[in-house]
Amino acid sequence: MVHLGVLDDHNAITEANNAVNSYYFHMIKEESHRSKLFWKDLTEHFGAYRSYTMLPYTSSETASSHNANHQGCVDNLLNALQPLSNSISRFVNQHYEHYYTKLSELTWGPFAPRSFGIFPMIAFNFNVISNYHWDDNDDPNGLCFVVALGDFEGGELCFPQLEIIVELKSGQVVAFPSKLLLHGNLSITRGIRFSIVSYVSKGFFLKDTKDTEMADTNNHQDFFNAEDLNLKRTSLGKPRSFQTCESDNKSDNRRYDHGKYIFI
């Protein structure tokens, strides 16, 4: 299933576009602010995971764990994206009411950020050309919602199992089961495209899991006391090697023969 739609808040799209554009060029300019994932694959993840543990935990990009001085840049970006996140949530409620209700009832715990409406996590892709893949860390019972921003041409989403290409334009949203449906995208032929992907990582739909039960399984830690947790955070004046040396192990270098696909 692939569902193409349009978000309902033009001002939110404009604000998000300006914020992401500003963030991207800030990261290009300020080498010491770059995360490993950004400089390797031009991708970042913000929000909360619940993979490998019963408790949600904040992504390293959200916590700016590579450089504490970058935290203000992250906070400004996420605040500017809240209207867009609310618009995506309304889209989900309108077209997937049961899924909206399920996401709204998720238990996240005391420290998981709630910056993106009903979703615990978003991913940024900056002009990425993605190989065909399944998102193994996404929940198999969930959908991801991809929103395109920017002034661009190309970058079509490809679904080879369905033999479909989606020409996603700025301000449009496409929903599909990212864990189950093979997908990738073509190259950007003009301009810059920023893709924002709202999704749920695996483990969030654990049955009968409550905050109190999670606390009982970790009774050596006080989840309501964050004192001294930031003492070891790093503040850098000069960039490290991972922030300046391009990786040879990129995942954005495949091109596709799209002659057999149809466009919607």
pLDDT digits (tens, 9 = 90+) for 130-145: 888 898 888 888 899 9
Q: What is the CA radius of gyration of the chain?
A: 19
- One-letter amino acid at 72 equals G
The pTM of the full predicted model, rounded to 2 decimals, is 0.78
pLDDT digits (tens, 9 = 90+) for 84-108: 999 999 999 999 999 999 998 887 7
| C-alpha to C-alpha distance for 88 and 96, rounded to whole angstroms | 11
CB 17 within 8 A of CB 77: no
| C-alpha to C-alpha distance for 28 and 26, rounded to whole angstroms | 5
| C-alpha to C-alpha distance for 220 and 34, rounded to whole angstroms | 34
Domains of the chain listed by start with CATH number: 3-214 (3.60.130.30)
Instruction: Note the pLDDT of residue 211.
Output: 44
pLDDT digits (tens, 9 = 90+) for 182-236: 999 888 888 888 889 998 887 777 654 444 444 344 444 454 555 555 555 565 6
